Amino acid sequence: MFSYFEGAWKDKKTLAQVFRSPLIPTSYMLSSYIKKRLKVPEKIQDDWQAYIEALFEFPDSSEKSVYYLLRFPRMSAIVSIEETINAEVEKNKKQF
């Protein structure tokens, strides 16, 4: 299973593409994740699972960029968000 996910990462597949694969027990993995990790109350677990499965049906969008954002050595920001915000505030001070 690990080698499949490693290959999917190298092929730049999104999480939705991985979970659409017939090789992945999507329903079981989501159910376990919702119960154990999210600790959702039992009466709404099915609703959460249906919601997440519906999200996987959407076409791929900007989530493809996650691969590029987390690829080594780009794991850390080159320009911090604070610097960007401060520069924008300084630039637009006169408007305020």
For 31-88, write each residue's pLDDT tens digit: 888 888 888 888 898 998 898 888 878 776 666 666 666 665 545 555 666 777 777 7
Side-chain half-sphere exposure of 41, counting CA atoms within 13 A? 2
* C-alpha–C-alpha distance, residues 17 and 55, integer Å: 11
The model's pTM = 0.51
Side-chain half-sphere exposure of 22, counting CA atoms within 13 A? 0
15 C-beta neighbours (distance < 10 Å), count: 13
* C-alpha–C-alpha distance, residues 64 and 60, integer Å: 7
User: 94 falls in which pLDDT band (50, 70, 90)?
Assistant: low
